[in-house]
Amino acid sequence: METTLCIIKPDAVKNGFEDKINEKIISSGLKIIKSKKTFLTEEIARDFYKEHASKPFFNELVEFIISGEVVVQVLEGDNAIKSYRSLMGATNPDEAEEGTLRKLFAESLSKNAVHGSDSIDNAKIEIDYFFQENEICSRTR
Ligand code: IDP
Ligand code: MG
């Protein structure tokens, strides 16, 4: 059994898609084992997305992810990482397949509704950000 980190991003929370996204996650066979609504601080966001620090869209990405509430969740299932990434669809919603979360709920490439971990190592690191005793981000609504 594998776990992965899911974030419902500020655009999707503002647009009221939280429940619809979670229905799709559950009907895909994944289990939502932890969930909380929180805000990312700028410091957390810059660290969370540090692999993109040199990209031209980095500041936009950080500004966006801290612009509103997010729902942070741990999903569990067989091949949860790959399975949830395929449910999310392509990063750019214009390229996402029909029925995927980004096709259904994303506004644009930068406001693309959901985040999902991309490897076992990153899933562990990302889950620790939000759901451990020494978690870095513990602010809740
Ligand atoms: P992923 O979320 O599908 O794993 P990554 O390449 O890890 O995609 O990029 C992280 C996030 O950065 C994306 O989800 C998206 O919100 C944003 N992003 C990626 N590429 C661009 C871009 O070219 N312009 C603006 N934002 C981007
Ligand atoms: Mg990524």
Cβ of 90 below 6 Å from ligand 1: no
Q: Is any atom of ligand 1 closer than 6 Å to the C-beta of 108?
A: no
What is the Cα–Cα distance from 23 to 47, expressed in whole angstroms?
A: 30
- Using a 6 Å cutoff on CB, does residue 67 contact ligand 1? no
Report the separation in Å between the CA atom of 119 and the middle of ligand 1, taken as the mean of its atom positions.
Answer: 16
Taking only the tens of pLDDT, the chain with its 141 residues reads 899 999 999 999 999 999 999 999 999 999 999 999 999 999 999 999 999 999 999 999 999 999 999 999 999 999 999 999 999 999 999 999 999 999 999 999 999 999 999 999 999 999 998 997 666 665 554
pLDDT, position 141: 47
> What is the Å distance from ligand 1's center to 49 Cα?
10
pTM of this prediction exceeds 0.85: yes
**Helix, strand, or coil here: 24?**
helix
Q: How far is the CA of 110 from the centre of ligand 1 (A)?
A: 6
Report residue 4: phi and psi, to 5°. Answer: -145, 160
CA-nearest residue for atom 18, ligand 1, is 110
User: What pLDDT, on the 0 to 100 scale, is given for residue 132?
Assistant: 77
Supply the pLDDT for residue 121. Answer: 97
Annotate 100-133 with DSSP letters as a single string. Answer: SHHHHH--SSSS-SEEE--SHHHHHHHHHHHHST
The reply to whether 52 belongs to the active site is: no
